[in-house]
């Protein structure tokens, strides 16, 4: 139970159980015309009060402690005889405490106050309807808050600190802000007809009166987060970063959501399923939204080493790669709803890339462009054999124009090969000499000279000398920037230079493009 506050609430409270140490006692508001709260009333007075309630009545039970049985007794007289669902007028449950599981399934609220309410079990508003409720919470729940199927008809701000929050098929018909702490959130098939922002709240929630809402119910959730970080064996700096994020909320699915109205801010999207959502290119990602990375280190796949360059990935790609026969360790095979293949993932990456580009996050867009190209390269359905060859070459040479070191490595290798080939076959044995041949026509009086070069001879000895290396380097470096060195070459050398002037500038351009994509903002 949450430790009692030394400050009395701003409503006429029950005060039952007050002691010298706790002069406030029970904080539950007194039932109208009675000296105690609903929990501390004697059986006769409680029954009289409950009999006075009718569907649609306003109720006020701020600060009251509810057991599962007491909550059901309160809901029974409020049930509409035609639907058998509870129907409230204005329901005030601010700072109330609910033990066991609290179920408001199917309830209709004209207005509801839950500021500072605490749920020691699970809280369920399944298919509940909220007509007028500008503020829901802040609510602290030890288990799961289930708002699946609920309908919010008016603008509302929801503040929830819980282990899990379910918004499956929830309908928001007006502008909404959802602020979360700790919660693993499921937004599958939610219906958004107006802008909805889901964000991770960085600090303790506060009630309307400015009091911080304690989160003692979630103390074990904090400990679990710290223990998990230690098990992962991260270094101290990473542990500190994760410790700061231990209260960070996570979204695990937006499948079936029309993302045109959705804003995700400062959330952990490591395990979020995006495939199956609509208008992902219009999704807005604000603040620090994190995605999972590729496995670190070098791994062996059959007979050759594999090392993945660092980039952000989607949960669906990690799941697909983990299921491949030759998968390397480190890919996450956690459950993803339904099989997702590269043909489906390429458009998902493409749409999210556009979302990053629209938010001017070029490095983030580059990661998702890489993911799109990877899925196209692995797609055996829509990608033609010719495209496979081109994509594979593009990947090998420069990582789709995003890996500068890879392109520079190939450029260095191409320069080295060109130099060696020129020294072996391209540079002539000796510099050509000019010869003059004189011809005297019959009858005399005039002499004509024809100037020819001697035929260039292929080298046969002393091919690897400093002088020949300098000449070969000069030819090669000029080829990189599309220039001719003017050096006399053999026939083979001429073709070697032509090939160099095509390939090396392309590799240089790919390296420059990769650097630009990483530094552009």
The closest alpha carbon to 142, from 124, 126, 159, 119, belongs to 119
pLDDT bucket at 1, cuts 50 / 70 / 90? very low
The closest alpha carbon to 89, from 44, 54, 65, belongs to 54
Helix (H, G, I), strand (E, B) or coil at 125: coil
CA–CA separation, 439 and 424 (whole Å)? 39
pLDDT bucket at 472, cuts 50 / 70 / 90? low
- Mean pLDDT is lowest, of 82-86, 319-323, 493-497, for 493-497
Taking all residues of the chain, what is their mean pLDDT, rounded to a whole number? 79
CA–CA separation, 222 and 224 (whole Å)? 5
Helices (runs of H) and strands (runs of E) counted in the chain: 11, 26
The closest alpha carbon to 50, from 78, 69, 19, belongs to 78
pLDDT digits (tens, 9 = 90+) for 341-380: 888 898 999 999 888 888 777 778 888 888 888 888 888 8
pLDDT of residue 510: 77
State the burial class of residue 448 (Cβ atoms within 10 Å of its Cβ: 0-12, 13-18, 19+).
Answer: exposed
N- to C-terminal Cα distance for the chain? 50
CA–CA separation, 38 and 97 (whole Å)? 12
CA–CA separation, 30 and 11 (whole Å)? 8
Whether residue 318 is predicted with pLDDT greater than 60 in this model: the reply is: yes
Task: Return the biggest CA–CA distance within the chain.
Answer: 149
pLDDT bucket at 457, cuts 50 / 70 / 90? low
High-pLDDT (> 70) share of the chain, %:
79
Q: The sheet that has 151-152: what strands, in order across it?
A: 59-60, 87-92, 108-113, 129-130, 151-152, 171-172, 191-192
pLDDT digits (tens, 9 = 90+) for 394-449: 888 877 878 878 778 877 887 787 777 777 776 666 655 555 555 666 655 555 55
The closest alpha carbon to 125, from 168, 89, 157, belongs to 168
Cα 307 to the chain's mean position, in Å?
A: 22
Whether residue 235 is predicted with pLDDT greater than 60 in this model: the reply is: no
pLDDT of residue 229: 43
From residue 99, give the alpha-carbon distance in Å to each of 74, 141, 350, 398: 15, 10, 47, 59
Task: Tell me the whole-structure pTM to 2 decimals.
Answer: 0.79
- What is the bridge-based pairing of β-strands 196-200 and 262-265? parallel
CA–CA separation, 295 and 434 (whole Å)? 64
pLDDT digits (tens, 9 = 90+) for 8-50: 888 888 888 778 777 788 888 998 888 888 988 988 888 999 9
Whether residue 470 is predicted with pLDDT greater than 90 in this model: the reply is: no
User: Which distant-in-sequence residues (6+ apart) come within 8 Å of 74 by Cβ?
Assistant: 38, 50, 53, 59, 61, 66
CA–CA separation, 35 and 505 (whole Å)? 88
pLDDT of residue 261: 93
High-pLDDT (> 90) share of the chain, %:
16
């Amino acid at each position: 139970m949450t430790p009692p506050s030394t400050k009395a609430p701003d409503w006429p409270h029950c005060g039952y159980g007050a002691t010298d140490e706790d002069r406030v006692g029970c904080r539950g508001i007194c039932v109208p015309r009675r000296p105690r709260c609903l929990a501390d009333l004697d059986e006769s007075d409680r029954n009289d009060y409950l009999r006075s309630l009718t569907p649609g009545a306003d109720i006020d039970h701020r600060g009251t402690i509810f057991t599962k049985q007491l909550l059901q007794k309160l809901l029974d007289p409020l049930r509409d005889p035609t639907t058998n669902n509870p129907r409230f007028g204005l329901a005030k449950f601010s700072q109330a405490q609910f033990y066991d599981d609290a179920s408001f399934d199917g309830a209709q609220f004209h207005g509801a106050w839950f500021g500072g309410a605490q749920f020691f079990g699970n809280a369920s508003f399944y298919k509940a309807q909220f007509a007028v409720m500008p503020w829901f919470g802040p609510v602290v729940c030890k288990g799961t808050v289930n708002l699946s199927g609920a309908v919010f008809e008016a603008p509302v701000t929801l503040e929830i600190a819980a282990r899990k929050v379910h918004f499956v098929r929830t309908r928001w018909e007006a502008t909404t802000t959802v602020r979360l702490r700790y919660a693993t959130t499921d937004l599958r098939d939610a219906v958004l007809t107006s802008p909805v922002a889901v964000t991770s709240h960085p600090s303790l929630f506060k009630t309307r009166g400015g009091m911080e809402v304690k989160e003692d119910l979630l103390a074990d959730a904090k400990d679990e987060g710290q223990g998990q970080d230690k098990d992962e064996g991260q270094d101290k700096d990473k542990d500190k970063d994760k410790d700061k994020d231990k209260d960070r909320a996570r979204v695990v699915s937006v499948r079936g959501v029309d993302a045109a109205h959705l804003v995700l801010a400062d959330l952990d999207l490591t395990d979020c399923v995006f495939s199956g959502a609509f208008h992902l290119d219009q999704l807005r990602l604000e603040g620090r939204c994190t995605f999972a990375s590729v496995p670190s280190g070098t791994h062996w796949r059959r007979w050759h080493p594999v090392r993945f360059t660092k980039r952000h990935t989607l949960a669906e790609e990690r799941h697909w790669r983990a299921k491949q026969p030759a998968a390397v360790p480190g890919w996450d095979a956690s459950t993803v709803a339904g099989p997702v293949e590269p043909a489906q993932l390429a458009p998902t990456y493409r749409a999210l890339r556009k979302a990053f580009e629209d938010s001017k996050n070029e490095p983030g867009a580059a990661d998702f462009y890489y993911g799109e190209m990877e899925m196209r390269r692995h797609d055996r359905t829509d990608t033609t054999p010719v495209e496979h060859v081109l994509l594979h070459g593009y990947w090998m040479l420069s990582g789709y124009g995003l890996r500068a070191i890879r392109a520079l490595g190939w450029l260095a290798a191409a320069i080295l090969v060109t130099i060696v080939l020129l020294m072996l076959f391209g540079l002539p044995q000796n510099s050509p000499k000019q010869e003059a041949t004189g011809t005297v026509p019959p009858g005399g009086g005039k002499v004509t000279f024809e100037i020819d070069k001697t035929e260039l001879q292929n080298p046969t000895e002393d091919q690897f000398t400093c002088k020949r290396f300098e000449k070969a380097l000069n030819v090669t470096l000029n080829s990189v920037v599309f220039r001719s060195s003017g050096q006399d070459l053999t026939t083979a050398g001429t073709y070697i230079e032509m090939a160099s002037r095509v390939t090396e500038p392309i590799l240089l351009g790919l390296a420059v493009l990769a650097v630009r994509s990483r530094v552009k903002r």
